[in-house]
A and B are shown apart, each in its own frame.
Chain A
Amino acid sequence: MSTTGTLDLGDLATGPSQQWGNIRLVPLLRPEPVPGLRLHDQVNESPVTVAGSGRRSVYVGYVPHAYVATWGDDPEPSAAHGTQLLDADARAPRERVRLAFQHRRVQRLGRNRSRFLPLHLAVDGLLSLGFGGPPIAWAEWADKTVRDGLSPREETVYRGEHVSDLQEALRVFEIHPDQCGVVVHVADALAAVHVVPHPEDYRVLHPTLLLDMFGEQLFVYGLLHFTVRALHEPIDPGSVRDLADLRRAVEASRAASATGHDELMLPSLTGADHAFEWLYERSGFTLGRFLPSFRGDRDNHIGEVITAADGRVAYLKTLRLSNAQVRRGRLLRALEEADWSLEGAARALGTDRSGLITRIERAGLAHLLNRALLERHRAARARRVGRYTP
């Protein structure tokens, strides 16, 4: 089932931001944890205990996308492909990626540490989850594209630890007792939002933000050498006559700062329309993925979301696409909507067939096309505008 709509963070309250260098981390707080959903036992270092009941099946476990672990009786480590909902006593996620090539390194890391896939794999995974490849074997596409869909694809992404001050910012970040999520801003551009159902889950997953993926644009922003300031609403000394006044002014300033963040910085994610694809439902929790509108004039985030029965966001993980990725995504979406017919997609994008092929080529997707077609196109273009096109 797919729907289009905006993302609503619901009962998550914005806390006071903490900043280090050019990274701003804004905590998201929940008055009450979402009941019934917890990090799966295999991920959690200490098994979840549910108060009042000794039975473990009273909650649903989730496994974050790209989470690497040694599951059940499978001796090889593998990664969850897409976030998954499991019964608490299930042994392993259904969809996994084998990591035979990583075998030795993973073993050395030790069994109980949180760790994730190399990120290019994870991004590929997310994009290929969104686009399956042509359903009709048009002659223009390479055999491999028709057979295997878009994978394997390559995306350039950077691990969190390479994004300037992020490592230090995460280390010195002071986690709130009721914190269930965080918004990461790199040079005040919204980079990622991460929400979990329970504060204990957040504590487990907080360091894994370092292994998260960031597009090349954010890596460049990370190189900008400036210090972000706290979001601040000044208090007016003239209005202060006694301590009660001052206390009210401090409260008002804090509230105004939080509202400022929600109204100015969060709409990068919450203000845009997303196409949601709802995958499946388990015990009231629905797992979905969303893709952005791929418009060039706004920020584009992809991600995965789990909503509770009452519509609250229980789990959320987003990734901001860089401009090049947005261009690729826009092409792929147009192609998909035209059932991978080049003429149809070219009409939708307001160009002609050869213009579309040039765009596909420049977006780094040439390998999807039939080789003979590509050669013909290049020869024709060379005849028309010369070999060295601007």
Chain B
Amino acid sequence: MTDTYADLLACEDLLLFAGAAMSSSGQREFHSSAGRQRLSLGFLHDYVRETLPDLYAATLALHVNDHNAALIIANLLARPRPDAPAHERARENALIRRRLALMPPQRVYRLFGRLAARRVNNRRTRATMRAWIGDRPDLALDALKYRRGLRAAARHARVRLPEEVEHFLFSPPASRRRLPYASALLRAHAAAHHSARALYALPYTVAEGFAAHHGIPRDRFLENIRERATHAERLRLTATADRHGLASTLDLGTAPLLRLCVYVLGLPLSERRARRAELEEALDRSARRAAGPMAGTWPPTAVVLDDSYSSFGSPVRRNHPLAIALACHHLVAALSPEASSHWVSGHRDALTVRPVGPTHLAESILEALERRPERVLVVSDGHDDHPELLSETLTAWRTRIDPDRSTTMLHLNPVFDADGLSMRPLSPAVATLGLRDPATLPSLVGLARFGEGRLGLADLRAYLDATVTAYLEAA
């Protein structure tokens, strides 16, 4: 290895940042408040942007979560690097556009709103906004659903909108409703002010306000609006629909794995047991879809899953770490034909798992190792009751029992430790990575190689380069 000490540090910093940007969403966690999370995260962003400016944008191609992607893009737009080489700037622009295209529109509009409030109005920002709004498939829908966001962005970046949409957004209410719109959506919106029947043509969130306005009973509204609700909205509304005696037409297996796990953990234990067959089938199907072409290709794998009390997360991210663990259980079962799961509490049945009890990771990890797997994944927030013992156990295992690395071990941490400014590690012998969406698990295992200290900054640059190229070409 020809890397200097500084290079190794840079490599570590970048991995640390990538881990934090994958797991932290600036919300309250079990051990730290939202304020601390944001403070620590803000520092990491500033630090990496200043010390590794060329690699900062490249992290957009990794699986950083949307919250951090928005932060990175806001930083890149607000503080462009005029002295950077032209090809780097072009690449940054391409990365920003690609990432924005993949982000949910409500997040993009929030980002644009924030840029407008900060008065970031350089050429790059205006061009980015114009390009993104120009690519939207249906601006009439956006004008209804994200009215304030589209309005702020269009006004801030002086974006030319279709004439009807512009009229809808920027004229006073009386003239707004009088115009005979060509777009059916905008026409329905004007009509919904006086006709209850017209509101069923609108998106769910917009229609809900009109339903309250017309005093429509909840059950009738839910039954008729079902066609217009998005998949996530329907999943969220299943309990309400059940309460009103409406038959659920939702196919749970089509939901994204993590969202489905959060839904399952939100159900009471009795209901989970009663609907066991349906839920397990849906979880398996969703996991197989998340695994995609990788399904069944992994070597024998053991997963150690943390279901201690701290996996409850916080009221704002209820059961989130536990949901990630549950998702990993199903995903690894789909990825590897010989998978085994070891819950920390000793629980055997994944469906009825609950966040209770202490964290004794050492015993569970040893139990997993006794099955002689080729790969061990530990999904935990890293807050063991006895950190020294765990660390020594893993070091002793690595140095005395398995020095030639026939088993690889990776710690996936769903929680960013704001006080330690890192992902809380288990032991120096095991690499730790952040994890947000279990669907990204296969590619994370590739990134983990850099955490073990055997590959240096040059390799990491090459890896990032290849990832970015692949990311941009996938468009």
Contacts and interface: CB of A to CB of B under 8 A. Distances in A.
- A, B: real partners: yes
Interface of A: 15-18, 27, 172, 174-177, 229-230, 232, 234-235, 237, 240-243, 246-247, 249-250, 253-254, 257
Most buried by A among B31, B356, B392, B397: B392
Contact of A243 (B356, B366, B383, B395): B366
A180 to B, nearest CB: 14
A257 B390 CA distance: 14
Contacts of B389: 230, 232, 235, 250, 253-254, 257
In the A-B complex, list the 3 residue pairs whose CB atoms are closest, starting with the nearest: A174-B309, A232-B388, A174-B358
A289 to B, nearest CB: 32
A250 B363 contact: yes
26 contacts: A15-B358, A16-B358, A16-B360, A17-B385, A172-B31, A172-B310, A174-B308, A174-B310, A174-B358, A175-B357, A176-B357, A229-B388, A230-B387, A232-B388, A234-B388, A235-B392, A235-B393, A237-B400, A240-B397, A240-B400, A241-B400, A242-B401, A243-B370, A249-B393, A250-B393, A257-B386
B399 interface: yes
A201 B393 CA distance: 35
Contact of A246 (B309, B356, B393): B393
A174 B357 contact: yes
B397 A246 contact: yes
Interface of B: 30-31, 308-310, 345, 356-360, 362-363, 366, 369-370, 383, 385-389, 392-393, 395-397, 399-401
A237 B386 contact: no
Contacts of A253: 389
B401 A246 contact: yes
B395 to A, nearest CB: 7
A89 to B, nearest CB: 30
Chain A interface, >50% SS class: loop
Most buried by A among B345, B386, B400: B386
Contacts of B360: 16
B308 A237 contact: no
A177 B393 contact: no
Given A174-B308, A177-B356, A16 B400 contact: no
A240 B396 contact: yes
Contacts of B370: 243
Given A16-B360, A243-B366, 19 more contacts: A16-B358, A17-B385, A27-B358, A172-B310, A174-B309, A174-B358, A232-B386, A232-B388, A232-B389, A235-B393, A235-B396, A237-B395, A240-B397, A241-B401, A250-B362, A250-B363, A250-B389, A254-B386, A257-B386
Nearest to A179: B358
Contacts of B369: 243
Most buried by B among A16, A172, A174: A174
Given A172-B31, A174-B309, A232-B388, A246 B396 contact: yes
Contacts of A18: 358, 385
B342 to A, nearest CB: 14
A254 B343 CA distance: 20
A143 to B, nearest CB: 55
A242 B385 CA distance: 24
Contacts of B358: 15-16, 18, 27, 174-176
A249 B393 CA distance: 9
A249 B395 CA distance: 13
B366 A250 contact: yes
B366 A230 contact: no
A15 B357 CA distance: 12
B88 to A, nearest CB: 44
B1 to A, nearest CB: 26
A247 B366 contact: yes
Nearest to B346: A177
B463 to A, nearest CB: 33
A229 B384 CA distance: 12
Contacts of B396: 235, 237, 240, 246, 249
A200 to B, nearest CB: 13
Given A174-B309, A174-B358, A237 B399 contact: yes
Contacts of B397: 240, 243, 246
Contacts of A235: 389, 392-393, 396
Given A172-B31, A230-B387, A237-B395, A243 B401 contact: yes
A63 to B, nearest CB: 27
Nearest to A229: B388
Contacts of A243: 366, 369-370, 397, 401
A241 B369 CA distance: 14
Contacts of A27: 358
Nearest to B363: A250
A288 B231 CA distance: 62
A177 B395 CA distance: 30
A16 B385 CA distance: 7
Nearest to B355: A174
A237 B389 CA distance: 12
Contacts of B363: 247, 250
B31 A174 contact: no
Most buried by B among A15, A27, A229, A246: A246
Nearest to B366: A247
Contacts of A257: 386, 389
A230 B388 CA distance: 7
B448 to A, nearest CB: 23
Contacts of A246: 366, 393, 396-397, 400-401
Contacts of B359: 174
Nearest to B385: A16
A241 B397 CA distance: 9
A234 B386 contact: no
Contact of A234 (B308, B383, B392, B400): B392
A230 B360 CA distance: 13
A247 B368 CA distance: 12
